[in-house]
Amino acid sequence: TTGLDTEALRRRALAALLTARERTTLLTDSVDDHELIAQHSPLMSPLVWDLAHIGNQEELWLLRGVAGREAMRPEIDGLYDAFEHPRASRPSLPLLPPAEARSYAAEVRGRALDILDSTTLTGGRPLVDAGFAFGMIAQHEQQHDETMLITHQLRSGPAVLTAPEPPRPTDAGSLPAEVLVTGGPFTMGTSTEPWALDNERPAHVRDVPAFLIDTTPVTCGAYERFIEDGGYTERRWWAPEGWAMVREHELTAPLFWHRDAGQWLRRRFGVTEPVPADEPVLHVSWYEADAYARWAGRRLPTEVEWEKAARHDPGSGRSRRYPWGDEDPTADRANLGQRHLRPAQAGAYAAGESPLGVRQLIGDVWEWTSSDFLPYPGFAAFPYREYSEVFFGPDHKVLRGGSFAVDTVACRGTFRNWDLPVRRQIFAGFRTARDL
């Protein structure tokens, strides 16, 4: 590797860390301090916990892990260990107050940037080669920024965040509803993407039988037809655990929706508005996505089907980094990075479509797949078991593609997210598929 590559990696790591901190600052400075300490939902941490946790993970991996420094405040490590304290209990912990959390995160960041300046990123050390630990920490901060945006969506009170509207589709009327992905081998995952996380590795070949997949995510309008057709009242559409959830919580619609004078309304970041028929549906659990698909005579795509739709280039047979090719995401290809506070209408982002004409695979809404979160053959936990390995198994379903709340640094054709099938507060929707 040349010195130029090292400098390019350093610049890339620096830019990713700065972008993440700008967003963290926006999300934590846009509410009063008492709202940082408050718990807006038992599902979420207080925002001030995320803020100090971001600093603490950075201290752990960059200051101590990369540079071998002593712990700055060993007494706080336990408070910010996500495995020691479930989210619901975090408000009662002796957390750093807002001013201290801010100065701790800023102090860690100052030292991390000094370390980035003075560390060789090509020395044969897995944690620092290609700037991995810096990229991992930027991704970690951005993932917590998405978590904090979910907390913002759950808080009550007037809106504090604003953003321009996403671009409208220009040719959505002429899109076919679904496209055929022909059967055959597909290379899933990656062994070359420098900042790919452990669960995306290694690249491996899968044989995927032919299937058809929706060209866009399922819209609110289509989902309303499921509701009007008695979707939430008929047991036959639901997995048993999903039906139990519907009955226990008396679910009738996606989270944040309510009916008023015969019209569906939703609350979005402090604003109540009519549900937009052409926008991808958001805030549905895996069980709701699964039930809708069964009602529609279809099914959720498997994880490998989703990735093949997103990455397979039928011309060359190789797997691309993104649906549009190998170049990084841009504002005209995908709705990412909290640039907008909602998904774009179905059929937008023509510049981001796959060779087969599938749109909005990257950005807009996380897409539930039918698959459990499992390791790829040859998986090796890195750098710590608690990132992915402890979550493998039948409890978690895989989500793909990223939402409008995901930053480009934490979004790739190979990127894997996972959550419990009951989760509704995440920015998740879905598309459907069927066998040929």
Q: Are strands 428-429 and 416-419 parallel, antiparallel or unpaired?
A: unpaired
What is the contact mask toward ligand AVJ in residues 370 to 399, using x (rule: CB under 6 A)? Answer: -----------------x------------
Selected binder of ligand AVJ within 143, 215, 216, 354 (CB under 6 A): 143
| Least distance from ligand AVJ to the Cβ atom of residue 417, Å | 5
Length of the chain: 436
Q: Which residue is nearest to ligand AVJ (CB)?
A: 143
Cβ nearer to ligand AVJ, comparing 147 with 215 = 147
∠ CA 162-166-172, rounded to 5°: 160
* For ligand AVJ, the closer CB: 19 or 147: 147
Q: Is 89 annotated as a binding residue?
A: yes
CB of 199 to ligand AVJ, least distance (A): 9
For residue 57, what is the DSSP state? H
Q: Cβ of 388: how many Cβ atoms within 10 Å? A: 19
For residues 56 and 216, which CB has a smaller minimum distance to ligand AVJ in the complex?
56
Side chain identity at 370, as an amino acid letter?
S
Q: Does 147 bind ligand AVJ (CB under 6 A)?
A: yes
Are 404 and 268 a contacting pair, CB within 8 Å? no
Shortest distance (Å) from residue 387 CB to ligand AVJ: 6
Q: Is the peptide bond before 329 cis (omega within 30 degrees of 0)?
A: no
Closest approach of ligand AVJ to the CB of residue 83, in Å: 10
Nearer to ligand AVJ, 59 or 353 (CB): 59
Beta bridge partners of 171: none
Which window, 139-147, 208-216, 305-313, 358-366, contacts ligand AVJ (CB under 6 A)? 139-147
User: Which residue from 286, 295, 354, 352 is spatially nearest to 319, judged by alpha carbons?
Assistant: 354
- How many residues bind ligand AVJ (CB under 6 A)? The answer is 6
34 is an annotated ligand-binding site residue: no
Rounded CA gap, 411 and 397, in Å? 18
- 169 vs 189, which CB is nearer to ligand AVJ? 189
Angle at 300 between CA 298 and CA 305, to 5 degrees: 115
56 binds ligand AVJ (CB under 6 A): no
41 is in an annotated binding site: no
Side chain identity at residue 96, one-letter code? L
List of residues 6+ apart from 314 with CB closer than 8 A: 182, 355, 356
Is the Cβ of residue 295 or residue 391 nearer to ligand AVJ in the bound state?
Answer: 391
Retrieve residue 203's tokens: 């690249």
Q: Residues 275, 265: contact at Cβ < 8 Å?
A: yes
Helix (H, G, I), strand (E, B) or coil at 30: coil
155 to 174, contacts with ligand AVJ by CB under 6 A? none
**Nearest by Cα to 272 from 157, 364, 148:** 157
**Shortest CB 197 distance to ligand AVJ, Å:** 8
Q: What is the DSSP letter of 167?
A: P
Regarding 152 and contact with ligand AVJ (CB under 6 A), the answer is: no
- Which parts of 62-81 interact with ligand AVJ (CB under 6 A)? none
53 among the known binding-site residues? Answer: yes
Nearest distance from C-beta of residue 388 to ligand AVJ, angstroms: 8
| Cross-strand pairs, 55 | none
21 versus 140: smaller Cβ distance to ligand AVJ: 140
Binding site annotation covers 140? yes
Which one, 134 or 418, has the nearer CB to ligand AVJ? 418
SS3 state at 308: helix
Which of 12, 109, 140, 359 forms a contact with ligand AVJ (CB under 6 A)? 140
User: Is 87 assigned to a binding site?
Assistant: yes
Q: Which two tokens stand for residue 268?
A: 């979005």
Among 418, 424, 425, 429, binds ligand AVJ (CB under 6 A): 418
For 171, other C-beta atoms within 10 Å of its C-beta total 9
Min separation Cβ 53 and ligand AVJ, Å: 8
Which phi and psi (to 5°) does residue 14 adopt? -60, -50
In whole angstroms, the minimum distance from the beta carbon of 418 to ligand AVJ comes to 5
- Does the annotation place 423 within a ligand binding site? yes
Binding residue for ligand AVJ, selected from 56, 190, 417, 432, defined by CB under 6 A: 417
Residue 67 structure tokens = 């540079």
* Cβ neighbours for 136, distance < 8 A, ≥ 6 positions apart: 61, 195, 197, 383
The residues that touch ligand AVJ, with contacts defined as CB under 6 A, are 140, 143, 147, 387, 417-418
